[in-house]
Amino acid sequence: MDINIAPLLKQPLGTRLDLEVAESPIDPRGDNAGLLDASIVDIDAKFHATHTNPGPFFEGAADAHVAATCARCLKPIDAPVHADFAEQYYATIPVDTGVAVIAAPADAKTIGSDFTVDVTDLLREELILATPLAPLCREDCAGLCPVCGEDRNERPHAHDETTDARWSALQGLKDLTEK
């Protein structure tokens, strides 16, 4: 979703613009479709842009769900993601004459002559950074059995006999080599 930031930059420094992006599920043909690129399935974000010297400063929080796979049992899940964020944007062109433009650092987010900010891009970036690397379907997911591959959440079990038999075979080998 593109936001025209020019009206904010014409207001006195410190002026705040409240913003909200909430959609569940994300419409593939809607304003927030860009979030689907990061497998974000729904979003509820409240943030604001403040007019600061270099340009708008975005700050707020986003809650979302990301389509993922449980790192232990490989079940498809919608992992909850929360991002608190603060991002400074630099206006590279003065919105009205007489206001000096502050040079933007090399890696800074900049705003060009259209004075728009794509907040979908901003939210997607922040949520990707906040997405856990190994999401779980639940905190105590028992995962797949390393011996038979069965889901231990559905059928808790162990393979004591098998592992014992293998272990004693190894132990026997060890005894032989040590003799």
Instruction: State which residue has the least CB distance to Zn ion.
Output: 145
65 binds Zn ion (CB under 5 A): no
CB 23 within 8 A of CB 32: yes
Cβ at position 89, least distance to Zn ion in Å:
39
Using CA atoms, how far residue 114 sits from 4, 54, 151, in Å, is 8, 16, 53
Q: Can you name the residues that pair with 58 across neighbouring β-strands?
A: 49, 87
Cβ at position 161, least distance to Zn ion in Å:
12
Nearer to Zn ion, 34 or 135 (CB): 135
147 binds Zn ion (CB under 5 A): yes
67 binds Zn ion (CB under 5 A): no
124 binds Zn ion (CB under 5 A): no
CB 110 within 8 A of CB 92: yes
Interface segment toward Zn ion; rule CB under 5 A; list 26-34, 102-110, 137-145, 161-169:
137-145
Binding residues for Zn ion, rule CB under 5 A, total 9
145 binds Zn ion (CB under 5 A): yes
SS3 64: strand
Residue with tokens 């040590």, as numbered in its chain: 178
Nearest C-alpha neighbor of 133 from the set 170, 94, 90, 81: 81
Cα distance between residue 30 and residue 159, in whole Å: 51
Interface segment toward Zn ion; rule CB under 5 A; list 3-11, 70-78, 94-102, 120-128:
70-78
Cα distance between residue 125 and residue 114, in whole Å: 21
40 binds Zn ion (CB under 5 A): no
For binding to Zn ion (CB under 5 A), which residues are involved?
A: 70, 72-73, 137, 141, 145, 147-148, 150
